[in-house]
Amino acid sequence: MDIEVLAVGGYNEFGRNMTAVRCGKEIVIIDMGIRLDSLMMHPDIEMENTHSLDLIEMGVIPDDTVMNQIEGTVKAIVLSHGHLDHLGAVPKLAHRYNAPIIGTPYTIELVRQQIEGEKKFGVNNKLYPLKYSQRYTISNTLSLELVRTQHSIIDTATVVLYTPKGAIVYALDFKLDRNPVLGEPPDFAKFRKIGKEGVLCLITESTNVNKKGRCPSEQLAKNMVRDVMTSYEDDKNALIVSTFASHIARVKTIAECAHEIGRKPLLLGRSMERYCSTAEQMKYVRFPDTTSIFGNRRVVERTLRRIIKGPRDEYVPIVTGHQGEPGSILTRMAQKDTPYRIEKGDKIMISAQLIPNDMNRAQRYRMFTMLSQQGGRIFDELHVSGHAYCEDHYEFLNMLNPQFVIAAHGGVNLTSEYLNLATDCGYTLNKDFFLMANGQRQKLA
Amino acid sequence: MDIEVLAVGGYNEFGRNMTAVRCGKEIVIIDMGIRLDSLMMHPDIEMENTHSLDLIEMGVIPDDTVMNQIEGTVKAIVLSHGHLDHLGAVPKLAHRYNAPIIGTPYTIELVRQQIEGEKKFGVNNKLYPLKYSQRYTISNTLSLELVRTQHSIIDTATVVLYTPKGAIVYALDFKLDRNPVLGEPPDFAKFRKIGKEGVLCLITESTNVNKKGRCPSEQLAKNMVRDVMTSYEDDKNALIVSTFASHIARVKTIAECAHEIGRKPLLLGRSMERYCSTAEQMKYVRFPDTTSIFGNRRVVERTLRRIIKGPRDEYVPIVTGHQGEPGSILTRMAQKDTPYRIEKGDKIMISAQLIPNDMNRAQRYRMFTMLSQQGGRIFDELHVSGHAYCEDHYEFLNMLNPQFVIAAHGGVNLTSEYLNLATDCGYTLNKDFFLMANGQRQKLA
Amino acid sequence: MDIEVLAVGGYNEFGRNMTAVRCGKEIVIIDMGIRLDSLMMHPDIEMENTHSLDLIEMGVIPDDTVMNQIEGTVKAIVLSHGHLDHLGAVPKLAHRYNAPIIGTPYTIELVRQQIEGEKKFGVNNKLYPLKYSQRYTISNTLSLELVRTQHSIIDTATVVLYTPKGAIVYALDFKLDRNPVLGEPPDFAKFRKIGKEGVLCLITESTNVNKKGRCPSEQLAKNMVRDVMTSYEDDKNALIVSTFASHIARVKTIAECAHEIGRKPLLLGRSMERYCSTAEQMKYVRFPDTTSIFGNRRVVERTLRRIIKGPRDEYVPIVTGHQGEPGSILTRMAQKDTPYRIEKGDKIMISAQLIPNDMNRAQRYRMFTMLSQQGGRIFDELHVSGHAYCEDHYEFLNMLNPQFVIAAHGGVNLTSEYLNLATDCGYTLNKDFFLMANGQRQKLA
Amino acid sequence: MDIEVLAVGGYNEFGRNMTAVRCGKEIVIIDMGIRLDSLMMHPDIEMENTHSLDLIEMGVIPDDTVMNQIEGTVKAIVLSHGHLDHLGAVPKLAHRYNAPIIGTPYTIELVRQQIEGEKKFGVNNKLYPLKYSQRYTISNTLSLELVRTQHSIIDTATVVLYTPKGAIVYALDFKLDRNPVLGEPPDFAKFRKIGKEGVLCLITESTNVNKKGRCPSEQLAKNMVRDVMTSYEDDKNALIVSTFASHIARVKTIAECAHEIGRKPLLLGRSMERYCSTAEQMKYVRFPDTTSIFGNRRVVERTLRRIIKGPRDEYVPIVTGHQGEPGSILTRMAQKDTPYRIEKGDKIMISAQLIPNDMNRAQRYRMFTMLSQQGGRIFDELHVSGHAYCEDHYEFLNMLNPQFVIAAHGGVNLTSEYLNLATDCGYTLNKDFFLMANGQRQKLA
C-alpha cells in the first residue's frame, strides 16, 4: 500500500490548517481551518455570507482544489480540536466530501454550531463524536484514534491513523502539560505504546520549537492570575478580565479567583457564551455558582447598565477583547461605546498574550491607550502558551521515534526552526525530515 | 530682566509642539502644532469642525491654558517651519492671542491655507512673512530672526530671539545638510556669529540624538531614488512612488528621475497639490515641464481612469499614502478602490521611512500585503531623515556654546537621550541642562 | 532644618549605587555599590588590589569626591541589602568616613566578608547589624529604621530615615511579594503607618516600572523550577542547574526539587558557598539534609571528578555561571575545563534571566553553543524578577503618598520611565518629581 | 548524463561554503571556505597549525567526508571570490583532490598567499587564474566560465558550469551594482545570453532576500563616506577610519576622501596590507600618491609613535578593527595598547556594518565604550551591503529563468526566506525549488 501526505493548508502561513493522508485509494482529511488575519485584512467581509472560492482567493480557507490531483475516496474528515484555525472552514468545504466528520465530543459540538451559523452552504456530513482511546474503523486496513493531549482548549486530541505501514501521528496542536487545570495530562502511556508499535510519520506543529526548555503548565497561568487577582486586599475599584473565550480552563481559573475575592463572575460576549456554556452543559467544567453568562449583545448592554449603578466590586466582568478586536466588549468599553465607565484605579487584566501580527499590535495599543487615559491600570500577559516548547518536542519525538517527520503549522520560515531539533535527533532534511508547502505531496511508503 | 521658558506642548509626547518665552512682560510663542497620532485614535473626528477644548482633551493640540499662569503680553507667534506638528494648531489657538504670526514666506503661505480651511474659529491674526536674516523688532529690548537651516521641508528656520541677556535659539527641527537638494545649506556663519555674541539658551530637538554620526545629506536620498528608478532599462511595468507631500526636495528628485527615464511625473492627491503647487508658484522649485499636479479627488479618479488605458510606462504617479493612511491614494489603489489596477511586476517605491507607531505599522503592513498579492514589487525606505544625528548636535552645540540647554521634541524618555551628549559637552542635568514637561516653567535669568 | 539629597552614584548608570541625605549638619549615606559591567570591560583588573581612584576613573565605584561639596558630618552608612551593586564599594570607600555601617544581620555579615577580602585598604568602621523594625538613633533629631521588604536576596530592607520634616524612604531594590518562598512579605502595615505619618521624600528604584502589571511572586519561580525538574520520570541523564548564588530562596527551591526527585543537591562554587553557607549558618534557610556545599576550587574539581564516575542521576550540581561568566563553573564545564563531561540528553537549567548587556549576551551565547554541541539540552529563564513592576510602584506610591519623589537606579533614560506613573499619580516633573544625575544635589526642605 | 548537486558546507550555517556538482563521472567543487564565528568560539586556536579533522569537528571548515559517497573524479576546484568564507579552507582541504584551483586573477593570488601561510599541510594543486569571459574546458562535455559580477571584493565572479543539460549557475555572493566604484557592472548581456540558452540550475545566495527593494550601489557608500569626511571644515582633530581590509573599493574611497581634505592616507594592519597591496600591485586600484601601507606589527607601532607627535590632522589612519576584533588595531587603540592616543573630539568612522552575532556585538560595544570614554566621537554604518536584495534576486531569477533553484548561504532558517520570492516567480518547494542541508544530494537530471 502506498501512502502519501498532502499539504493542503497551513504550510505557507499560520492558520487555515488542512492535511490529507492517502493510503492506497482511501483518503483521510485532518482539520479544515481558517486564517483569521487574512480575514482581518477585509474588515467588511461577512464570512457566513461569502463563497468558498472568494475565501480561497483571499487566503482565508485552504485551497482544496489540489485534492483533485489525487485519486481515491475521502473516508473521513477528522478534527483535532475546536479552534477556528482547525475547524472554521468546515462549513465552507466539508460538503464537497461524502464523509463523516469525526472529533472529540466537545469539538463536534462546536463544529455543529459552526455549521448552523453558515448561510451560504448546506453541510450535511454526519457528525461523529469519538471519545479518547476509542477506535474508529475506516476500512479493513485503516483505523483511527483520538489520543488525549493538552492544549489551550478542552478535549484536544492528537490524531492517530493506524495503517499497515505504521501509525501516522498528527500532533497539531499540543502541549505536554503534566499538571493541567482541566482534564487529564496527555496519555503518555498510549504514546509510548504507539511509539513501540511503530510510527511511520509524525506530522507535528512547530510553533514554539525555537523556545528553549518546556512550555510551562497551565497551573502556572493559574498561579499568575490568582497572584494578581487576590492581591488587592480592600480595593473597591472595578476589576475586568479578558481572555480567550475558548480557553475554558483559564476562564474557570478567573471565575474562581473572582469568587475567592467575593465578587461574582460575569461572562460576557457571544463567543464567551458559545464556548463556556457549551462546556458547562457538557459537564467539562463547573463554574462557581455565582457565575452568570450573557452572550446576546442587547442583554450584555443591559447587564452593564445595571452593574454600573451598583458597587464596583460586586462583579468581575470576564470579557472578550484581549487583542483589541474591533467590536469586542473590552474595545467598546475603551471607546466608551457601552454603558460601562472605567474609573481611575480600575484594573484591567489581560490573561492572554499578543497574537503577534501588526494588526493586533495596533488595535491593542489603541485600546490600552484609551483605557489608560480613563485611569485604568493595565495588567498584561497573565498567560502561558498552549504550544509545546523545544524540550517538549524533544521528549515527544524520542517517545514516538517516527520513521519520517513533517513539520507543520506555519510557513517554511517557521517550520524550518524544527530542523535543528530534528538534526539533534538524527533526522536529515529531505531524507526523513520534510518541510512542505501548500499543494505539495510527500510519498512515505 | 527676568526670562523664563514655558513648555506648553510637545514635551510629554511627540507632536503638538508649542513653547513660550517670557522676557519681562513680553511673551513670544514659538510653534503651535498638532499631534497626528492622537488624531488617528479617533478616526471619526473631523478636525476642522472640532472645538479647541475637545482637541486639547484628546491630546491633539497643546494645552495652552497654562499660559494664564504667566503675566505678560504675547507679542508674537513665530513658526519654525510648515509641518503640521509645528503649525497645525494655529487655526484652533492663535485667535486667543492678539499678536502677529511670523514665519518664512512658505511657512506663512501654508498657515494661511490652514486658517482658510478652519470652520470653527475665525483667526484674524496678522500674517507676517519674514525672510531669512532679516530682523523683526518686537520691542526696544527684543528682536527676532529666522536663520536659514535645512530640514525635510523647504524654508525651515531656526528661530533666534535676541534678548538683553543673550540669544534664545529654538532649533526644532533641523539637519546640518551641507549638500541640500533644494535651498542653501544652514547659515553656519550666522550661527557662529550668534555663538560668539552669546547664547542664553538653546532649545533643541532631540529626535535622532541617539543615532551615531551625522544625518546623511538629502543628496544621499536623491542618489538612492535615482539608483533604483533608473535601473530598469527596458521595463514596461508601472512605477508608482509615494513620499511626503511636504518634502518638496524629494518630490523634485522623483519627478526628475521620472523625466530622466522618459515618463511623465503625475503628482496626485490633495496634500501633494497643496504643498507642491504652492512651492512652485512661489518659485521655490521647478518641476520638469512634463509634470502634472491634481489634487481634487474627482480629478484624480478621472486621471487614473485615463492613464490605466494607456501604456503603463507613460507616467510615474507620485502619490500620498506611504504610511498606509486610510483614504490616501496608495492605500486606495491597494484596496482596488480606484480605477487603477496593479499588475504583476509593477514597482511601488516608498521614499519615506515608517513613522514608528503601531497604527502606522499595521496600516503599512496591510497595504503592502495587498499590493504584493496583486503582483506589485515593493521598494521601501528610499529615504534619509530630516533630523540631526548625534554628531550634528555635537557640532551645533559647540558652535553656539549656550549657557543653558533645553532638550525638546518628545517625552522625557526621548529627550533624556540628549543628556549623554550634553554631559560630554560639560553640561549638568538640572543645573544648565533641563528636561521639561508640558505646563512647566524654567527660569533662565 | 534644611534637607537635601545628594546623588553620588547609580544615577548615570545601572550599578554603583550611592546616595547621601543631609539634614542640617548631619549626613547619612545609603549604599556603596560597584558597577559590574564596568569591571567586565577590564578583564585583567583584580578589584581587591586596585586603588579607589582608579576604580572611580573606570566607573566601577561611585565618585564620592562630590561629598566634599557639602558641609556636615557623616553619621551613618546604611546598606539596603547584600548585592554587590549596593555594598561592593564599602571596602574601597567606607574608611574615608568616620561612621558605623548599618544593615540587616545578613547584609552586615556579607559586608564583613567583603572587607576581609580587601587587600588595599583597611576598613575599620564599626559594623552594626540592625533587625527589621528596630530603631537606630542617629541624633536627637534623626533616627533610622530598616523596614522588611522582599527582593532577590534575603534580609533586604527599605531604609527609612525619620527627620523632623517627615520620613525619607529609600526603596532600592524591592518587590511587593505577598507569597515569598523565604521570609515574610513586605511590612505593609508599617509602610501604611509611615505613609500616614508623613513622607517627605521617596527615593525609589525604577528598573521594571515600564513593565505592565505586577512582578510575579517568587512562588511562581518555584512552580516553574519544580514543573520542569520533576517532569522527567525515569530519566538517567545528568541535571545541572545554575542560578544567582545570592538568591537563597531560589537555591532552596532547586535543592528541594533535587531532593524530591531523589538526587542529592551539590552546591558548587566560591560565591555559592559564601552566600548559602552564611545564610544556613545564620538560620535563614535550611537546605535538605542530603545537600553538600563546596566552594574551594580544588575541592570542586575533586568532587566533579568523583561524581562523574558514579551514576549521572545521583546528584544535581547547582552551580554558578548562568551569565556565561568566564571562570564560572558552568562556563568551564562547557569548555571541558573541568573533569565533568556533558553527555547527550543531559539537562542544563538556567534559573536566571539574562542581565541585558552585550558582554553577557556574547558569553551566554558561547556557553550555550558549546553545551549544545556536546548534546546538552538547555532550559532558560526559569525565573521571575526581584524588581517591582508598574502596578507595584503604583500601590507603593499611593501607600506612602510622599511629598517628593526621586527615581533612581539607572541613567535618566531609564529613570525617566517612572515619569508616566508619577504623572498618573499627580506629580510634576522638576516640581515634586525629580530625575537626578551623579554629583547633583536636590533640596527638599 | 545524470547531474546532481552536493551540499558540502554552508547549508547549515553562515560560512564555510562548499558545493560540489557531479555530472556523470566528473565532479566540480565550488568554494572551500571557513566559518569565522566558529573560530571565534576558540580564541586559543591557531588555524594554521590545526589539523583538518579538528577544524571539521569544531565546524570551522566544511565536512568534506561526504565526498566519499559519490563516485567520480574531481576535475576542478573553482573559487567564486576572495573572501575567507569562500576560500579559507583551501589550505586544509584542497590537497585531498588531484585537481587545479581556478579563480579570477585576484582570487587566485589571495589563495596563493593563504596556502603559503599554511603550516600543517602542503598544498600543491595547480593554481589557474581565469579571466572573466574566458572559457576553461574541463572535458569534452563540461566547460567553465567566470562571469563578471559585483560584490564587496574586487574580481568576484558568478561561476557558470556548462553541461549538456544546460548551465549550472553558482551565484554566491553577488550584487547587481550598476554604478560600481571599482570595476565594471555585472555582465548583464552574458547573463541574459546564458538565460536564453538554458539554465539547468541556479544555486544562489539568499543573505538579503528578505530586504525589500534593491541593494544600494557602492556609489552610495562613497557618498556617505565623503559626506561625513569632508564635512569638518577646519577641524584639527584626528580622524580614524576602519573598514573591511578586503573591500578595496571602499578603502579607495576613504583614501581619496582623506586626500581631498589634505590628509595623508595611512593603511595599517596585516590584512590591510595583504588585500590592498596585492590589489595595487595587480593594477586593480590606484590609491592617492600620498598613501602609505604598513602591515608588519612592529612597523605599525613605530609609525603610530611617529605620527602621534605631529599635528593630528596630518594623516588619516585607515585601520582594521571595525568589529572590535581582539588584537585589531582599532581595538588596541581603544585599550591604549598602541602608542597612539585618542583625544577629545577625535573622530572614529566605521565604514562597515555589524556582522550580526553576539560575539561581535559585545566586542564592538566594549571598543566603542572605551573610545567614547577617551573623548572619541563615533560614526557608524557608513556602509552599504555587498549582497543582493529581494528585487535584485527577482531581476536575476527572471533573467536566468532556471529549471531548478537551490537557495544557499546559510541554514534553512535563512535560505527558506527565498521561498516567497521563488513562489512569486512560479517555483514550488521540493519540486523545482530546493532547500538543502550539509551532506545532502539533489538530483537535477
The per-residue pLDDT for range D370-385, each reduced to its tens digit, is: 999 999 999 999 999 9
- Name the one residue in this structure whose C-alpha cell is 482511501: A26
Q: How far is D360 from chain C (nearest CA, A)?
A: 8
pLDDT band at D363 (very low <50, low <70, confident <90, very high): very high
| CA-closest candidate to residue C183, choices C314, C298, C285 | C285
pLDDT at residue A383 in the model: 98
Q: D406 to chain A: which residues are within 8 Å by CB? A: none
D359–C359 CB contact, under 8 Å: no
Q: For residues D139 and C91, what is the distance between their CA atoms, to the nearest angstrom?
A: 78
DSSP B199-233: EEEEEEE-TBTTS-S-PPPHHHHHHHHHHHHTT-T
C-alpha angle A333-A336-A342 in degrees, rounded to nearest 5:
65
A140-178: pLDDT as tens digits = 999 999 999 999 999 999 999 999 999 999 999 999 999
Q: For residues B420 and C412, what is the distance between their CA atoms, to the nearest angstrom?
A: 9
Contact A287, A224 (CB under 8 A): no
Q: What letter would DSSP give residue B150? A: B
D419-443: pLDDT as tens digits = 999 999 999 999 999 999 999 999 9
- The distance from CA C37 to its chain's CA centroid, rounded to whole angstroms, is 14
Is D26's pLDDT higher than 90?
A: yes
Q: What letter would DSSP give residue B268? A: E
Average pLDDT value over all residues in chain B: 96
- Residue B346 in grid coordinates: 509593477
- The residues on A that touch D, with CB distances below 8 Å, are 12, 411-413, 416-417, 419, 423, 428-431, 434-437, 439-440, 442
pLDDT at residue D291 in the model: 98
pLDDT at residue D287 in the model: 98
pLDDT band at B442 (very low <50, low <70, confident <90, very high): very high
| CA-closest candidate to residue B337, choices B312, B365, B374, B295 | B374
Closest residue, chain B, to A359 (C-alpha): B362
Is B39's pLDDT higher than 90?
A: no
SS3 string, chain D, reads: CCEEEEEEECCCCCCCCEEEEEECCEEEEECCCCCHHHHHCCCCCCHHHCCHHHHHHCCCCCCHHHHHHCCCEEEEEECCCCCHHHHCCHHHHHHHCCCCEEECHHHHHHHHHHHHHCCCCCCCCCEEECCCCCEEECCCCCEEEEEECECCCCCCEEEEEEECCEEEEEECCCECCCCCCCCCCCCHHHHHHHHHHCEEEEEEECCECCCCCCCCCHHHHHHHHHHHHCCCCCCCCCEEEEECCCCHHHHHHHHHHHHHCCCEEEEECHHHHHHHHHHHHCCCCCCCCCCEEECCHHHHHHHHHHHCCCCCCCEEEEECCCCCCCCCHHHHHHCCCCCCCCCCCCEEEEECCCCCCHHHHHHHHHHHHHHHHCCCEEECCCCCCCCCEHHHHHHHHHHHCCCEEEEECCCHHHHCCHHHHHHHCCCCECCCEEECCCCEEEECC
DSSP A318-366: EES-TT--TTSHHHHHHTT-SS----TT-EEEEES----SHHHHHHHHH
Closest residue, chain B, to C437 (C-alpha): B429
Q: Which of D217, D380, D394 sits opposite B213 (nearest CB)?
A: D380
Is A265's pLDDT higher than 90?
A: yes
In sign, the C-alpha dihedral spanning A429, A431, A433, A437 is: positive
Q: Which of B178, B227, B377 sits opposite D217 (nearest CB)?
A: B227
pLDDT at residue D41 in the model: 84
In terms of CATH architecture, what is A3-214+386-443? 4-Layer Sandwich (3.60)
pLDDT band at B41 (very low <50, low <70, confident <90, very high): confident
Q: For residues D181 and A384, what is the distance between their CA atoms, to the nearest angstrom?
A: 54
pLDDT at residue B114 in the model: 95
Q: B369 to chain A: which residues are within 8 Å by CB? A: 41
pLDDT band at D233 (very low <50, low <70, confident <90, very high): confident
pLDDT at residue C293 in the model: 98
- The residues on B that touch D, with CB distances below 8 Å, are 176, 178-179, 212-214, 216-217, 219-220, 223-224, 227-228, 231, 347, 349, 375, 377-382, 391, 394, 424
Disruptive mutation site among B358, B370, B371 for chain A (greatest number of A CBs within 10 Å): B358
pLDDT at residue D298 in the model: 95
In the sheet with C157-163, reading across from the earlier edge strand, the strands are C135-137, C143-148, C157-163, C166-171, C199-205, C404-408, C433-435
Q: By percentage, how much of chain D surpasses pLDDT 90?
A: 92
The count of CB pairs under 8 A between chains A and D is 59
| Beta carbons within 8 Å of A304's beta carbon, 6+ residues apart | A268, A317, A338, A339, A340
Q: What letter would DSSP give residue A44? A: T
Q: Where are the domains of chain D?
A: 3-214+386-443, 218-379
Q: Is B51 annotated as a binding residue?
A: no
| CA-closest candidate to residue C161, choices C130, C180, C184, C138 | C138
Q: A359 to chain B: which residues are within 8 Å by CB? A: 362, 365-366
D338-351: pLDDT as tens digits = 999 999 999 999 99
Judged by average pLDDT, the poorest of A153-157, A258-262, A356-360 is: A356-360
Closest residue, chain A, to B369 (C-alpha): A41
Q: How far is A56 from chain D (nearest CA, A)?
A: 17
pLDDT at residue A41 in the model: 84
Number of Cβ within 10 Å of residue B51's Cβ equals 11
pLDDT at residue A42 in the model: 84
DSSP A365-391: HHHHHHHHHTT-EEE------SS-BHH
pLDDT band at D234 (very low <50, low <70, confident <90, very high): confident
The CATH fold of domain D218-379: Rossmann fold (3.40.50)
Q: For residues B338 and B331, what is the distance between their CA atoms, to the nearest angstrom?
A: 10
D178–B220 CB contact, under 8 Å: no
Contact D34, D60 (CB under 8 A): yes
Q: Which of A41, A364, A369 sits opposite B41 (nearest CB)?
A: A369
DSSP C124-145: -PPEEE--TT-EEE-SSS-EEE
Q: D435 to chain A: which residues are within 8 Å by CB? A: 412, 416, 429-430, 435
Is A1's pLDDT higher than 90?
A: no
Say yes or no: ipTM exceeds 0.85. Answer: yes
- The residues on A that touch C, with CB distances below 8 Å, are 178-179, 212-214, 216-217, 219-220, 223-224, 227-228, 231, 347, 349, 375, 377-382, 391, 394, 424
Judged by average pLDDT, the poorest of A254-268, B32-46, B126-140, D285-299 is: B32-46
Q: For residues A174 and A152, what is the distance between their CA atoms, to the nearest angstrom?
A: 8
| CA-closest candidate to residue A114, choices A28, A20, A32 | A32
Burial class (CB in 10 A: 0-12, 13-18, 19+), C349: buried
Q: By percentage, how much of chain D surpasses pLDDT 70?
A: 100
Closest residue, chain D, to B374 (C-alpha): D424
- The residues on B that touch C, with CB distances below 8 Å, are 12, 411-413, 416-417, 419, 423, 428-431, 434-437, 439-440, 442
Q: Which of A413, A423, A431 sits opposite D416 (nearest CB)?
A: A413
Identity at D4, one-letter amino acid code: E
Q: B370 to chain A: which residues are within 8 Å by CB? A: 41
Q: A224 to chain C: which residues are within 8 Å by CB? A: 216, 220
Stretch D24-34: mean pLDDT: 97
- Residue A214 in grid coordinates: 518546556
Number of Cβ within 10 Å of residue D304's Cβ equals 22
Average pLDDT value over all residues in chain A: 96
pLDDT at residue A105 in the model: 98
- Residue D164 in grid coordinates: 549538456
Is B45's pLDDT higher than 90?
A: no
B420: left (phi over 0), alpha (psi -120 to 50) or beta: alpha
Integer angstrom CA distances of residue B131 from A294, A355, B81, B88, B144: 67, 53, 12, 21, 11
Closest residue, chain A, to C231 (C-alpha): A178
Closest residue, chain C, to A219 (C-alpha): C223
Number of Cβ within 10 Å of residue C364's Cβ equals 22
pLDDT at residue D58 in the model: 92
- Name the one residue in this structure whose C-alpha cell is 541589602: C81
| Beta carbons within 8 Å of D368's beta carbon, 6+ residues apart | D324, D334, D378
B419–C413 CB contact, under 8 Å: yes
Q: Which residues of chain C have pLDDT under 70?
A: none
Identity at B399, one-letter amino acid code: M
Contact A199, A397 (CB under 8 A): no
Integer angstrom CA distances of residue A375 from A343, A348, C85, D194: 6, 10, 36, 67
Q: Look at residue C92 and give its three-state secondary structure.
A: helix
Q: What letter would DSSP give residue B147? A: E
Q: What letter would DSSP give residue A429? A: B
Q: Look at residue C8 and give its three-state secondary structure.
A: strand
Q: C228 to chain A: which residues are within 8 Å by CB? A: 213-214
pLDDT at residue A282 in the model: 98
- Residue D387 in grid coordinates: 549582497
pLDDT band at D121 (very low <50, low <70, confident <90, very high): confident
Burial class (CB in 10 A: 0-12, 13-18, 19+), C161: buried
pLDDT at residue B233 in the model: 85
Stretch A370-397: mean pLDDT: 97
Integer angstrom CA distances of residue C322 from C119, C129, C222: 28, 31, 17
Q: For residues D261 and A289, what is the distance between their CA atoms, to the nearest angstrom?
A: 83
D258-268 burial, b for 16+ CB within 10 Å, e for fewer? bbebebbbbbb
B189-246: pLDDT as tens digits = 999 999 999 999 999 999 999 999 999 999 999 999 999 999 998 899 999 999 999 9
Q: Which of C178, C231, C378 sits opposite A178 (nearest CB)?
A: C231
B155-182: pLDDT as tens digits = 999 999 999 999 999 999 999 999 999 9
B365-419: pLDDT as tens digits = 999 999 999 999 999 999 999 999 999 999 999 999 999 999 999 999 899 999 9
Q: How far is A224 from chain D (nearest CA, A)?
A: 33
Q: C219 to chain A: which residues are within 8 Å by CB? A: 223, 227
Binding-site annotation, residues of A for Zn(2+): 81, 83, 85-86, 151, 173, 409
Contact D377, D345 (CB under 8 A): yes
pLDDT at residue D43 in the model: 81
In the sheet with D377-379, reading across from the earlier edge strand, the strands are D292-294, D264-268, D315-319, D239-243, D347-351, D377-379
A429–D419 CB contact, under 8 Å: no
Identity at A66, one-letter amino acid code: V
pLDDT at residue A48 in the model: 87
pLDDT at residue A234 in the model: 84
pLDDT band at A233 (very low <50, low <70, confident <90, very high): confident
Is B359's pLDDT higher than 90?
A: no
What global pTM score does this model have? Answer: 0.95
Q: D228 to chain B: which residues are within 8 Å by CB? A: 213-214
pLDDT at residue A52 in the model: 93
Q: By percentage, how much of chain C surpasses pLDDT 90?
A: 92
pLDDT band at D322 (very low <50, low <70, confident <90, very high): very high
B175-198 burial, b for 16+ CB within 10 Å, e for fewer? bbbbbbbbbeebbbebbeebbeee
| CA-closest candidate to residue A155, choices A247, A251, A289, A256 | A247
A227–C212 CB contact, under 8 Å: no
Q: C358 to chain D: which residues are within 8 Å by CB? A: 358, 361-362, 364-366
